[in-house]
Amino acid sequence: MSKRNRMFTKAMKLRVVQERLRGIPVAVLVRQYDIHANLVYKWTQEYTANPTTAFRAASDEQETLKNTVAELQQMIGRLTMENDFLKKALAHAESALEQSQQPGSTTGGTA
């Protein structure tokens, strides 16, 4: 059995639970899917407690995080564009102000 942390899909968890509920021994499932026996018991308990919401938390949380990251990346892109535009506008305004304050300038200066 492997010792690393792995992510299991909802479909895989459902497959294991359905096989367990059909009477396949836990030992067979453990060898077949290379998982710990405690996972089989935990997943089976979670599914039997509430089949409609079983295994939803991890996959839904990942999907929500992916959507949030995508939204934030879009926002960063928009803000970057706005920031660049404002920097250019400020530089243009400062340039125009310097030109109008130069001696002998005929644009917008008061005499």
CB-based contact 31:2 (threshold 8 Å): no
Residue 96 predicted with pLDDT over 60: yes
Residue 94 predicted with pLDDT over 70: yes
Output the six-digit token pair for 6.
Answer: 């792995």
Between helix 10-21 and helix 26-33 the angle, nearest 10°, is 150
Q: Mind listing the pLDDT tens digit for each residue in 4-29?
A: 678 888 889 999 999 999 999 999 99
The pLDDT of residue 8 is 86
Q: What is the mean pLDDT of residues 104-108?
A: 61
CB-based contact 41:13 (threshold 8 Å): no
Rg of the Cα atoms in the chain: 31
CA dihedral for 32, 28, 36, 2, sign (positive or negative): negative
